[in-house]
Chain A
């Protein structure tokens, strides 16, 4: 196996995510073609206190544990406003990944990145990610943020935290408008009704015909 092939295979970054800084700044839409089958149906119950999810087929316990830990390092509950945990960014990410029409390349990249975090933990510390101390986890995130795959992957995880922080609480995140309150963010009005939320809106408007 050549080095080039091994790199491609082990840390493949989709073209659209390679130049992630440009991508973030110039692209209006973050994701192409997300269409979730049913947000509410796909997340039967969430307990914030126990952080217990019925994650079904979206993420394994190990994957979920790694990605939520990384989320909390990227956006900690540090006393200066809500953290990823407080805005339910974990639940929000499941909501994103549960989308059957999400661009498979982007979805794979997010899932693969979780595995690469674990691999890097083994390489750097000879431990799985979940065996690391909090300080070691933070060191690991700092290390991977300096790698090309790492900075783009962490950047994407951050973007979904921002969505959880600042989107309408009807999406199941930003509880009691905690994110809006922190940043004194003024959402526009009218706010969406249940039928106008994504992705329900696509069904709603598909029924529109003549006045």
Chain B
């Protein structure tokens, strides 16, 4: 049994882990990163749809590792189903660099009011809303740091909800755009909306060893072959490795953190590729396994001092899980309704849409009794995945299977005569008592450990706000001349955009972590994925997770330097 000693042990390797490994190794500390998935390197990434989206290559087989989802059935009773039985995976990128390898990289900063939702908009019955223990100004330098180090391209335009910025422009110019972006701008102007450019964690120009985007037309769900995408692996871990102070252990599943009886972790335990148990010693442990698995690991790490799980004597680990969600919608543009030149430009693959509307990030409208927090609508083309597009043609509007020559004609029309523009609505997923992680009592993974059970429910307020935003987006689509416009606002959680479960805050009675994301109850445990977020804003979480992990890295560095002075 091998035992190794490091200054910092980071569990997980995605957006919450990369900044820690990068900053600490750069400053001379010995860092080990333990990742349960394999190590896909850039040379291993292609645009193969079978590998990327049709088989479990980036996620584990569900018969080996599953989750149990508890949700309300039609009668309103709680019902548990394993993801193996439903076939709906809750895993994301299980690989070195985590889900950031396969993200789309739509990057939005949180806005100042997102940090003080309770103070600004007041309580909502049934929602556990609390303000963050810090404000936007404390986070801003780290949003800025992510722009430069991870690489964010974009264009700053003044609009009603623009976040305060320490730099007037992005370090990388915006990516090339399709003609549809101009159509959105034009329609928005006519309607009195302001369409804003969407920043992307994708390089538009080369940066040192990283090439710029090659506009392959296959971004989300696929690994990047040019290193333009700002994955934790490419933007941070590869640089950490060059310091000589960073070790990455792929295919290593951590299952327990061991403490010494005095509130400190001494070892992490993981299964290696052969299934043998191995331990790692370190001074500081950083957990960043993505929200659900982070809570699961803490809950699994029970001992005499922490009978309910590590850092869980307050009973808060796993609570107040949230998702970046709202709903989706779409409209179609038929080429025969367009001027030929416009149709040709619309067909151009690879170019981005990169537009959002954020006029209603705060809603002041008679439809609501008072001012409420709104959200974001992002616009994007339907994914280029051919097999997925074909599958969308299998059923008619009445739910009957379409096949034979009728199916082939339908497919041909779908592929050749139109292009679909989608929109995604993001509202705050209000934290409630009915959205949390626990350990399932019956189902275990292939190593015999209990799997995470996730109770999922969303607050009705989320849907009201989502519908309001979807209506605005549908109006924009209509103004653009789209046809077959539709939207679906629902409480389905996007499993790649999760946060909460280990809230941070100043009061140990109401939070798991302190303002530096150190566990109140454990002296050398930090959590740096999205788990810390008590509320998530009405945007995707990744930029915030990156930024906060850089902030925590500074706190750990400060602590390490003070410890050295004390020695």
A197–B250 touching, CB < 8 Å? no
B399–A21 touching, CB < 8 Å? yes
Closest chain-A Cβ to B200's Cβ sits at a distance in Å of 17
Nearest residue, chain A, Cβ from B222: A188
Closest chain-B Cβ to A11's Cβ sits at a distance in Å of 17
Given the known interface contacts A76-B405, A190-B46, A191-B46, the answer about A210 and B56 at a Cβ–Cβ threshold of 8 Å is: no
Given the known interface contacts A15-B85, A192-B51, A197-B48, the answer about A151 and B247 at a Cβ–Cβ threshold of 8 Å is: no
A33–B241 touching, CB < 8 Å? no
Q: Residue A201 contacts which of B51, B54, B248 (CB distance < 8 angstroms)?
A: B51
Q: Which residues of A contact B48 (CB under 8 A)?
A: 167-168, 191-192, 196-198
Verify if B408 is at the interface (C-beta below 8 Å from A).
yes
0/1 interface trace, chain B 535-559, chain A, CB 8 Å (1 if under): 0000000000000000000000000
Given the known interface contacts A23-B88, A27-B89, the answer about A185 and B386 at a Cβ–Cβ threshold of 8 Å is: yes
Q: Which residues of A contact B88 (CB under 8 A)?
A: 23, 26-27
B61–A188 touching, CB < 8 Å? no
B63–A163 touching, CB < 8 Å? no
Nearest residue, chain A, Cβ from B248: A210
Q: Which residues of B contact A31 (CB under 8 A)?
A: 54-56
Bound together, the chains give a CA A188 to CA B64 distance in angstroms of 31
0/1 interface trace, chain B 214-256, chain A, CB 8 Å (1 if under): 1011100110010000000000001001000001101100000
Bound together, the chains give a CA A197 to CA B50 distance in angstroms of 8
Bound together, the chains give a CA A66 to CA B409 distance in angstroms of 25
Nearest residue, chain B, Cβ from A164: B387
- Size of interface on B: residues with Cβ below 8 Å to A: 67
A196–B225 touching, CB < 8 Å? no
Q: Residue A15 contacts which of B53, B86, B273, B400 (CB distance < 8 angstroms)?
A: B86
For the residues of A in contact with B, the DSSP-based class is: loop
Bound together, the chains give a CA A23 to CA B241 distance in angstroms of 41
A167–B44 touching, CB < 8 Å? no
Q: Residue A167 contacts which of B57, B387, B399 (CB distance < 8 angstroms)?
A: B387
Verify if A80 is at the interface (C-beta below 8 Å from B).
yes
A29–B89 touching, CB < 8 Å? yes
Bound together, the chains give a CA A184 to CA B419 distance in angstroms of 13
A80–B250 touching, CB < 8 Å? no
Given the known interface contacts A183-B386, A188-B216, A201-B51, the answer about A209 and B401 at a Cβ–Cβ threshold of 8 Å is: no
Verify if B415 is at the interface (C-beta below 8 Å from A).
yes
The stretch of B389-397, B462-470, B508-516 that contacts the partner chain? B389-397
B85–A16 touching, CB < 8 Å? yes
Bound together, the chains give a CA A190 to CA B218 distance in angstroms of 10
Verify if B403 is at the interface (C-beta below 8 Å from A).
yes
B47–A187 touching, CB < 8 Å? yes
Bound together, the chains give a CA A196 to CA B81 distance in angstroms of 34
Closest chain-B Cβ to A203's Cβ sits at a distance in Å of 10
Bound together, the chains give a CA A206 to CA B399 distance in angstroms of 42
B59–A162 touching, CB < 8 Å? no
A210–B44 touching, CB < 8 Å? no
The stretch of B35-43, B118-126, B499-507 that contacts the partner chain? B35-43
Q: Residue A73 contacts which of B273, B404, B408 (CB distance < 8 angstroms)?
A: B404
Q: Which residues of A contact B218 (CB under 8 A)?
A: 188
Q: Which residues of A contact B62 (CB under 8 A)?
A: 32-33, 103
Taking CB atoms and an 8 Å cut-off, the chain A residues in 136-165 that contact chain B are 141, 145-146, 151, 154-155, 158-159, 162-163, 165
0/1 interface trace, chain A 25-42, chain B, CB 8 Å (1 if under): 111111111110000000
B349–A17 touching, CB < 8 Å? no
Q: Which residues of B contact A180 (CB under 8 A)?
A: 386
Q: Which residues of B contact A80 (CB under 8 A)?
A: 405, 408-409, 412
Given the known interface contacts A23-B88, A75-B408, A188-B384, the answer about A198 and B61 at a Cβ–Cβ threshold of 8 Å is: no
Q: Which residues of A contact B415 (CB under 8 A)?
A: 183-185
B39–A208 touching, CB < 8 Å? yes
Q: Which residues of B contact A145 (CB under 8 A)?
A: 400-401, 403
Taking CB atoms and an 8 Å cut-off, the chain B residues in 393-434 that contact chain A are 394-395, 399-401, 403-405, 407-409, 411-412, 415-416
A binding-site residues for B, Cβ under 8 Å: 15-17, 21, 23-35, 73-76, 78, 80-81, 101, 103, 141, 145-146, 151, 154-155, 158-159, 162-163, 165-168, 171, 179-180, 182-193, 196-199, 201-202, 204-206, 208-211
11 contacts between A and B (CB under 8 A): A23-B88, A26-B492, A30-B54, A33-B64, A80-B409, A158-B401, A163-B387, A183-B415, A184-B416, A186-B349, A202-B38
Known: A188-B384, A201-B51. 4 other contacts (CB 8 A): A74-B404, A145-B400, A196-B46, A209-B39
B binding-site residues for A, Cβ under 8 Å: 38-41, 44-51, 53-57, 59-64, 81, 84-89, 214, 216-218, 221-222, 225, 238, 241, 247-248, 250-251, 273, 349, 384, 386-387, 390-392, 394-395, 399-401, 403-405, 407-409, 411-412, 415-416, 492
